Amino acid sequence: MAYLRSTGGDPVPPDRIRALASLFGLSVPVDDFDTLSVALRDQLASIAQLEALNLAGVTPLPAFDPRWHE
């Protein structure tokens, strides 16, 4: 996933991926556990970076017009 930077930390353990998959009723092939554990680790690290932002005083745009170009 090119939009995520690798954090280099420990991958998510396969038993957690199994638990999440069973919680949502998904079946995950055994061959995908390594890839998913790294991707989930990096996704959670990206979420943590967003949560750490100080957004006090920042307000979102009330509307977005996709036709507008600068």
Note the pLDDT tens digit of each residue in 14-49: 999 999 999 999 999 999 999 999 989 988 888 888
Q: Identify the weakest region by mean pLDDT among 6-10, 13-17, 58-62, 64-68.
A: 64-68
pLDDT score, position 48: 86
Per-residue pLDDT band for 6 (boundaries 50, 70, 90) equals confident
Parent domain of 31: 14-49
Buried b / exposed e over 38-57, threshold 16 CB at 10 Å, is: bbebbeeeeeeeeeeeeeee
Assigned domain for 6 exists:
no
Assigned domain for 3 exists:
no
pLDDT score, position 1: 44
More confident residue, 25 or 66: 25
Instruction: For 17, list phi and psi in degrees, rounded to 5.
Output: -65, -40
Query: For the chain, how long is the longest CA-to-CA vector?
Result: 48
Q: How many folded domains does the chain comprise? A: 1
